[in-house]
Structures are given as C-alpha cells and as structure tokens.
Structure 1
Amino acid sequence: MRLPIIAAALLATCATAMASGFPVTVKSCNRDVTFETAPKRAVSHDVNLTEMMLALGLADHMAGYSGISGWKTLSEDLRKGVGELPELAPQYVSKEVLLGADTDLFFAGWNYGMKVGGDVTPDTLAPFKIAVYELTESCIHIMKKDKSSLQDMYADLLNLGAIFGVREKAEVLVAGYEKELADFQAELPKLDKPVNVFIYDSGEQKPFTAGRYAMPTAIIEAAGGKNIVDDVESSWVEIGWEPVIERNPDMVVIVNYGEVTAEQKIDYMRTNPAFKDIEAVKNNRFFVLEYNEATPGPRNIAAIKRLAAAMRAD
C-alpha cells in the first residue's frame, strides 16, 4: 500500500514545482544554469547586488551577504533591508566561508567577488553544489558582450525573479523602471551637444575609470552625455591621465566610496596643475555618484535623473 502513497506524494511535489515555474534555466554569462527549486541560502556579494536581492524581497532566501563594509558603509535603508542577515566577509568571501554558511547560490560577478582563475568561481563551487549567478555587466571579463546598457541590470532582475520564483514581481519592477525613465526622458530638455564626462573612481598616479562595458557609460548616455573613454574596450579599468587631459571633459563624475572621500578626489583634481586647463576643472563641474548608483542596481534610474539635472544646471 506504500507505493500509491509515494507516487501521490511525488505527483504532488511535481505539480507544486510546475505551478511555481520550476525547474527554471537562466543564462549566466556564457552558461545555462538550471534551478530545480528556489535557493534558500543565497549569498550576494557587494552592495549593488545585495540591493537587487532586497528590491525583489528576497531576504528570506538569503544566508547573508559579503563585500560591503570593507570598502563602503551601509546606507540606512540598506541596513534596514538586510535586517539580521550576517555579513559573511567585509571584503572577498572565501570558499570555506560559503560552505560554512550552507550556501546554495552565490550571486556575484567577475571583479565583484570573483576573479578569473581565483579560488571562488562557478567551476570551483560546482563540486560543492553551490550554484553561481553572474552579474551581467561583469561578463565582459570572460566573454564578448554588447556595450553596457540598462538592459544588463534589467536582465539580472528578471533572471533573479525566475531563479527565486518571483518572476511577476521582477517583471513589474523592471517595467516600472523602464516607464519611469521613458517618462523622464520624454520631458527632458534637449542639449545642444552631449556633455563629455570623465568617470573618476580612484587613483592618483593613474586613474581607475569606467570604460565601454561599465554601467556608468549607460548612465551617462541616458542622461544626455558621452563617456570620454567609451572607446576603451574594457569595464572598470586603469588608464593614464594623458587621454583625460587630451579629451578635456566638460564634467567629472566622482564615484564615492572607500577611504578617499569624494571631496578629496575633487580637491586632487582642483589643485593639480596638470588639470588646470580641463574644462570641468576650470568650471568646477564635478558631480558625485555613490558606488551603488554607479554600479548595476536599483539606484541606476535615480542616478540618471540626478546626473541629467546636473548636466543642464548651467
């Protein structure tokens, strides 16, 4: 008599899985990743990826997060969102820590918690049954992809929605972002020409900036500008100061995080004689983006709106 009971239980389980959209397969960079059920012990790395999880209401599916307090401070709203979730590592999380947290999904990216050839990658975690979903913007480090766009961020939210069985919530969220941006751009005063923008992330001897495949390029273009190094075939990258001086940006966008404050970065450019003829420096046109505004995540649309207003302020 046990066989019919077992069969009925299996049928019920299958029916529940099908009703919730599982199993589901999503594209993660150049891999297809299949989930039989929604992860219950996910770990997100970095502040922007963690905010994507929170925007979809997935705190109950998380074992914790990593890579925030070592470089950045938690904003009040993020602190409230993560609640009692532990930070498993202030900077890079190790394979051992992920195993100790009984992690079943690591949401990270290349140079967002993972390094090519490093100890924590999809290949090194696979033997331990830890799935990995990779931040779309970061895929350029391991494969060819299109220029950075807001579609990268939208794709991540939609894929997370599928992975965690909250597809409808993700679709509503993305549709809301798309409409908010479209409505804003429809009313946005046109510029005579694009504002040439340099993204200054960090570094004095050589600046660390955002190239063609980093999210700030998409943010700048959506606001009505042009990244002066959008011809650099890379994501976040170190370059020399010479091309910055030669290309003479109208505005410098500072990425604010870490021990060196945004004001200190601005002062460095203001007081360095090498930069005295740059239009942005001469006209004191500096604009500050917080790290979680400049990287793919829920704050990108608000960042575009703020930057667009600053471009037209003069």
Structure 2
Amino acid sequence: MIHVNAPFKYTAIVLTSLLVNTVYAAQRDTAHYPINVESCDRIVTFDHKPKAAVSNDVNLTEMMLALGLQDSMVGVTGISGWKTLDPVLRAGIGELPELSPKYPTKEVLLGADTDFYFAGWNYGMRVGGGVTPDTLTPLGIKVYELSESCIHIMKKPKVSMDDLYDDLTNLGHIFNVEERANKLVTGYKKELKDFQANLAPLDHPTKVFVYDSGEEQPFTSGMHGMPTALIEAAGGKNIIDDVQKSWIQVGWESVIDRAPEVIAIVNYGDVTAQQKINFLRNHSGLKDIPAVKNNRFVILEYVEATPGPRNIQAIKRLAKAFRTE
C-alpha cells in the first residue's frame, strides 16, 4: 500500500482543481467566440478573448480594472504625460507597465505584442493619425473605441450615462465576462436611481459651466461630453449643451452672457483646481456672473468628469453643489 503524505495530497488537489478550472474556462471561451461588437461606426469581430490588451488614459483603464481584466492586459498608455497617477489606480494596475506616457505609436503597441487596444478619439487616437483602427487592424490589433468619443467620426445622440453602460457591457462581451459586466452596470443604475429618488427638488435646472482649462479661451464640454450627462443627472443644465461637440474651446463672452450659477472645475495636470478658481475669481469679466459672485465652485477629478466607474460619485458631488448656496 502506498502512503501519500498530506502536503503532496493537498498540492495534487490544488493542481487538479486548477486544471479543471482552466479546461472549463477554455471550453467556455470556445463556446463564446466568435462574436461581433459595435464600435462607433464599425462592427468588430473577435475570434477569441484578447490576451494582450492595452488601455489608454486613466478613465478607460479604470473601466478595465473595474471588470477585473488585469490578467488580460500587457500595459497602459497615455497617463503620466498629462496626469498624476491616482494611488487607487496605481494599486489596481499592479505590475502592469506604462508603455507610453502619452499617446502610443504603432511601434510601442507592436513591441508589447498587443492584440487589443481600448482607446478613443482624443483618448489615445487622433483622426488622421498614425494610430487608428484602420492602421492597427492590419497588424492584428483589434480596437474598441470609447463611445463618448465617437462624435469625432460620426453622428450620435446626445451623451448620456448609456455611453458608459454600453462600453462596460461591450467590454464584458469582448472578454467573455458578461455576468461581471452586467452586475456592475445593474449596480450603477440602481445606485443612481436610488440617489435621484431622494434628491430635494430644484426650482429650475442649475446652470453650469464646465471649466477644463485655458485662459485666453476656456476649454469646456459641449453636448457630447460626459459632463453634460453628469450635470443633467444631478439636476442641472450645461450652459454649452447647444454646441454639438464633446470638448471645445469657446469665448468668455458666451460664458458671461449665459451667467452660470455653478462652475465645475476639472482637476488634472500641472495647474491645480485652486489655481483655476483663483484665475476665474480674478478675471475682470467674470466677477459679476452668479457662480463667481456667490463662490459656487465644484471640483471634479479628471476620472470623474470623463466616462468611467467614478461617474456616479461625480453626479452625487454635483447634486450636492446644486443644492448648496
């Protein structure tokens, strides 16, 4: 009779369990693919689960992390060149390298053996640039485009929270983690619905100006930028929501004429939110608009103002600011 010692027996059980799980996962993936996913104006076919994914920018990377896709990633791009890496995000990324501090080149993506690139127009890709779906597809790199950014290449409805929900759902489909994605989206929808149900009513939608950056001309969010959806969900109205752009430069005259009651500051980069507020307070043309006169500023971090998992907390912060004199 052969006696098997306990440690060996335990190791054998663990290895057997891992083997069974691996086989099951492979069978599940085989049954799932091929699939078709809509990305802006394209239909992208996936024959298998991406194994070497790269995401660009902090908000897109947080979507990947929220879905637990780190093991399918080989790196990130486009973060430190403009923004300080959030400690929470840094912990989530773990050992994943930042392949490029700003937008990557084709060579950078090929050097990492990338097979999937999650980016957007002006979120890692530029119209007519060297890194686009048209240039990457022949290299074996599938691209999924951030829904909010599709306005740069096609007509689409006004931005809404559905843009975020659709991206998470599509990523879940691409990586065969649909149950995880559906649970996440359902949770976000319920959290927002429950929050809105308990909000004190407003006499009228609060007029809001989104200030991203710029002194000669402010850079702000229009009809198709995520802040418009966040502001409306909180009970406000973006004063630039008649401009059919996502992010755009406007003149200070239009801001003054529309007299915002609250100014939402997008916080990122070398110029701090407080420096932006100080600039607005000291701008002679703005001193009499209600938001500046009444000192009604609300700060949104970049990852809150752009599509991503922190959009719900941004809505909550905006809603509080709209109801605080």
* 1:45 counterpart = 2:56: yes
CA drift of 1:219 comes to 0.1
TM-score, length-scaled by structure 1: 0.94
Determine the structure 2 residue equivalent to 1:135.
146
SS at match of 2:285: helix
Work out the CA distance in 2 between the residues paired with 1:61 and 1:186: 38
TM-score, length-scaled by structure 2: 0.91
CA drift of 1:306 comes to 1.2
The residue identity in structure 2 corresponding to 1:124 is: T
CA drift of 1:150 comes to 0.4
CA drift of 1:36 comes to 1.0
Q: 1:243 to 1:41 in 2, by over 3 A?
A: same
* 1:166 counterpart = 2:163: no
Question: Is contact 1:109-1:134 (8 Å) kept?
Answer: yes
Determine the structure 1 residue equivalent to 2:233.
222
Q: 1:13 to 1:284 in 2, by over 3 A?
A: closer
* 1:277 counterpart = 2:325: no
SS at match of 2:191: helix
SS at match of 1:60: helix
Work out the CA distance in 1 between the residues paired with 2:229 and 2:266: 15
Determine the structure 2 residue equivalent to 1:90.
101
1:60-71 alignment runs, 5 A limit: 60-71=71-82
* 1:304 counterpart = 2:315: yes
1:168-207 alignment runs, 5 A limit: 168-207=179-218
The residue identity in structure 1 corresponding to 2:201 is: K
Work out the CA distance in 1 between the residues paired with 2:249 and 2:62: 26
Work out the CA distance in 1 between the residues paired with 2:40 and 2:157: 12
Determine the structure 1 residue equivalent to 2:246.
235
Determine the structure 1 residue equivalent to 2:89.
78
CA drift of 1:127 comes to 1.2
The residue identity in structure 1 corresponding to 2:128 is: G
The residue identity in structure 2 corresponding to 1:82 is: I
Aligned to 1:263, which of 268, 274, 289? 274
SS at match of 1:264: helix
Question: Is contact 1:17-1:23 (8 Å) kept?
Answer: no
SS at match of 1:196: strand
SS at match of 2:227: helix
SS at match of 2:314: helix
The residue identity in structure 1 corresponding to 2:49 is: A
CA drift of 1:262 comes to 0.6
Q: Which residues of structure 2 form unaligned runs of 5+?
A: 1-23
CA drift of 1:92 comes to 1.0
The residue identity in structure 2 corresponding to 1:133 is: Y
Report runs of 4+ in structure 1 exceeding 6 Å deviation.
Answer: none
SS at match of 1:77: helix
Determine the structure 2 residue equivalent to 1:252.
263
Aligned to 1:295, which of 306, 316, 320? 306
The residue identity in structure 2 corresponding to 1:274 is: G
What CA RMSD, in Å, does the superposition of the two structures yield over aligned residues? 1.3
Aligned to 1:35, which of 38, 42, 46? 46
The residue identity in structure 2 corresponding to 1:70 is: G
Determine the structure 2 residue equivalent to 1:3.
none
Question: Is contact 2:29-2:176 (8 Å) kept?
Answer: no
CA drift of 1:16 comes to 4.5
SS at match of 1:273: coil
Determine the structure 2 residue equivalent to 1:213.
224
The residue identity in structure 2 corresponding to 1:291 is: Y
Percent identity between the two aligned chains = 66
Q: 1:277 to 1:96 in 2, by over 3 A?
A: same
Determine the structure 2 residue equivalent to 1:155.
166
Larger Rg: 2
| Deviates further, 272-281 or 135-144 | 272-281
CA drift of 1:17 comes to 3.8
Question: Is contact 2:228-2:238 (8 Å) kept?
Answer: yes
Aligned residues: 302
